[in-house]
Amino acid sequence: MVEAILFVAGDAVEKQALCRAMDVTEEALEDILDALESGYDFDRRGLRLLRFGAHVQLATRPDYAPYVERLLQPVQKQTLSQAVMETLAVIAYRQPVTKGEIEQVRGVKCDYSVQMLVTRGLIEEIGRKETLGRPILYGTTDAFLRHFGIGSLSELPQIDFSRLAGKLAASDEGEAGERAAEDGAPGGDEAELPPPMTDALLDEEDGAADAPGE
């Protein structure tokens, strides 16, 4: 039943919606999902089960992505720039966080990056900080978890923010100009994110083959 529902739905389905459709408890549903996931993994099936936050979805197994691409030759999605990904990393590890706090870490304005992430559904407004001006607090969404193939924020790599370096000089003027244009700041320096964050979280390619129909 779960497999049929998820196949027809295509997109992610809330677990509570599955419980209502099947008239089962949340505990029973988790057992069902465990069994289905184990079966897919044991047989190395072409499909796998994605579980992220309060949602679950069927997706293709990354191992078989090259064969799918040979047939379908999918159009590659537009990737997020390094500046936008760095903003997303700060939000993921510091949430709930205001735009001003993000800018303190990165050292540049981030209006464009935040708006881009909201538009893509990777972050959302989750409240307001009880301080002067009551600035908006941002946090990641279930779509963020799905994009990076993790079930919860606890699975993010551990990061030591004390290792943040003072400034990051762009490797060339073109890259510096692109980042500055995106964030609405004059070109130049940015606060550096530690290598573990950029390696583990800022790699767009890892999740490219996981989504259904891609």
Instruction: Strand 13-14: give its sheet, edge to edge.
Output: 13-14, 55-60, 47-52
Identify the band that residue 170 occupies on the pLDDT scale cut at 50, 70 and 90. very low
Residue 130 Cα distances to 69, 102, 135, 152, angstroms: 49, 17, 8, 27
Give φ, ψ of 168 to 5 degrees: -125, 115
- Give yes or no for residue 47 having a pLDDT over 70: yes
Asked whether the beta carbons of 15 and 54 are under 8 A apart, the reply is yes
Query: Could you tell me what percent of the chain has a pLDDT over 90?
Result: 40
- Give yes or no for residue 92 having a pLDDT over 90: yes
Domains of the chain (ranges, CATH numbers): 2-72 (1.10.10.10), 82-207 (1.10.10.10)
Half-sphere CA count of 180, side-chain side, radius 13 A = 14
- Give yes or no for residue 136 having a pLDDT over 90: yes
3-state helix, strand, coil in the chain (%, to 5): 50, 15, 35
Asked whether the beta carbons of 87 and 102 are under 8 A apart, the reply is yes
Residues written for the chain: 214
How far apart (Å, rounded) are the C-alpha atoms in residues 179 and 82? 8
Cβ of 66: how many Cβ atoms within 10 Å?
9
Weakest mean pLDDT among 39-43, 74-78, 124-128, 147-151: 74-78
The pLDDT value recorded for residue 3 is 92
The pLDDT value recorded for residue 201 is 56
What 3-state DSSP class applies to 116? helix
**What are the residues facing 136 on neighbouring strands?**
128
As a whole number, mean pLDDT of residues 20-25 equals 93
Identify the band that residue 205 occupies on the pLDDT scale cut at 50, 70 and 90. very low
The pLDDT value recorded for residue 102 is 92
Q: What is the pTM of this model?
A: 0.54
Residue type at position 98: T
